[in-house]
A = this chain, B = another copy of it.
């Protein structure tokens, strides 16, 4: 998860723009995870990336752009991880895998960056639109799994829409408590709570 901090300094390499952009974005991500968004500035990004401030400006129009790009990358990677665990399983297994992937030590960084960035006031319209779409996707994916489970009689659900909203809200709310750290909720506890929620809401006692 940590980008190596290679800073040759003497033998500076020329990279195609896309490669250099990625290196800079990775450097920015490391800094953001370490010091928080307000602790990141152009000079530090340049130093972390092993290039001069001019190089950073050459490849990006502004620091804002770097941060937005970095957050986008973080979220893409996170969703890719989540989605990867879902494919080709029964709905029950899919939900279990999803919940287990949501809160891990690896994902804490993603959640933290995401929350912090969201409220930092740095997001522009373009970015907001993309994230809204991403969030709708996430919502739809949960809904699809639940609906499939209902269809296959794995789940017994009166209202899949209702359960979806509740599930998504619960995920965000538990994440918040987890990151906030008080009254301390561990990643494991958050996962267990979600598993219980699935059982309670979608798998009622067979004799009822």
Contacts and interface: CB of A to CB of B under 8 A. Distances in A.
Interface stretch (A21-29, A80-88, A92-100, A165-173): A165-173
A16 to B, nearest CB: 15
A183 B168 CA distance: 11
A11 interface: no
A121 B169 contact: no
A196 B159 CA distance: 12
Contacts of A208: 208
- Give the interface size bracket for A toward B: 35 or more
A121 B39 contact: yes
B132 A182 contact: yes
Interface stretch (A101-109, A112-120, A147-155): A112-120
A183 B165 CA distance: 10
A17 interface: no
Nearest to A42: B4
B183 A166 contact: no
A177 B183 contact: no
A183 B136 contact: yes
Given A38-B1, A119-B119, A166 B193 contact: yes
B177 A168 contact: yes
A182 B169 CA distance: 12
Given A116-B119, A121-B38, A135 B183 contact: yes
Given A119-B119, A132-B182, A173-B176, 11 more contacts: A1-B63, A36-B121, A116-B119, A118-B119, A120-B120, A162-B196, A165-B193, A169-B169, A169-B176, A169-B193, A176-B176
